[in-house]
Each structure stands twice: as C-alpha cells, then as structure tokens.
Amino acid sequence: MKKNINNILKGKFLVDEDAFKNWRMIIFLSVLALVMIASSHRADEKVHEITRLKEHVEELRSEAVDARLALWKLKTNSSVAKALEARGVKPSNVPPKKIKVKSSKE
C-alpha cells in the first residue's frame, strides 16, 4: 500500500510500460475539465448580460413613465390655457352652442 502511494507521488505510473493508458485518461480528463470551465464562463457571461439588459429595461420603463406623466401634464386644460394665454388667446366665457343642420330631404 505504501509502495503504491510512493509510486503515484513520484509519478512512476506515467513512465511505466502501461503509461499510454494512463496518459489517455489524463488527457481526456484535462480536456473534459477545460470544456467544463469554458461552459461555466459562458453561463456567467450570459447571466451578466441578462442582468445588464434587465437594468436597461427598467431604465427605459421609468423614462416611459416620466414621458407619459409629462405628456399628461401638457394635455391638461390649465396648461393648454397657460400656453395659449401667452399668444393672446383666452378661454371663452360663453359656453358653446350646438349647431343643427337640416338637410333638404327632410
């Protein structure tokens, strides 16, 4: 048992007669580890990209809400009246009257 552990620590299993089998396994495990590391990095990059895009969507959503609020304020009667007052147009004190047009067929 102690001899086997010493042989492994010294690396004799890599230079023995059956070393080719060991090297194939080591190379296979190394390639597999590299593939796993690359896959992990790609997954992390995608997670960071998703987070960045979610933050961008939240920013755009808040800008849209701000724009909608500003538009709503501009559309109110009081803001329209203030804007037209600067041009000299004032709201009418007389309520509008309904105009009825009679057609000649009636």
pLDDT value of position 56: 98
**How distant, in Å, are the alpha carbons of 72, 74, 91 from that of 86?**
20, 15, 12
Residue 45 in any domain: the answer is: yes
Give the C-alpha separation, 61 to 105, whole Å.
Answer: 55
Say if 47 falls within a structural domain. yes
Write down the pLDDT at residue 87. Answer: 86
Give the pLDDT means over successive 10-residue stretches in the chain (106 positions): 77 74 86 98 98 98 96 87 84 86 78
pLDDT at position 106 is 56
Is pTM beyond 0.85? Reply is: no
Q: Spell out the residues 6+ positions from residue 22 whose beta carbon is closer than 8 angstroms to its own.
A: 13, 14, 16
Residue 105 lies in a domain: no
> What domain count does the chain have?
1
Query: Is 98 a member of any domain?
Result: no
With respect to residue 11, please indicate whether it lies within any of the assigned structural domains.
yes
pLDDT of residue 20: 75
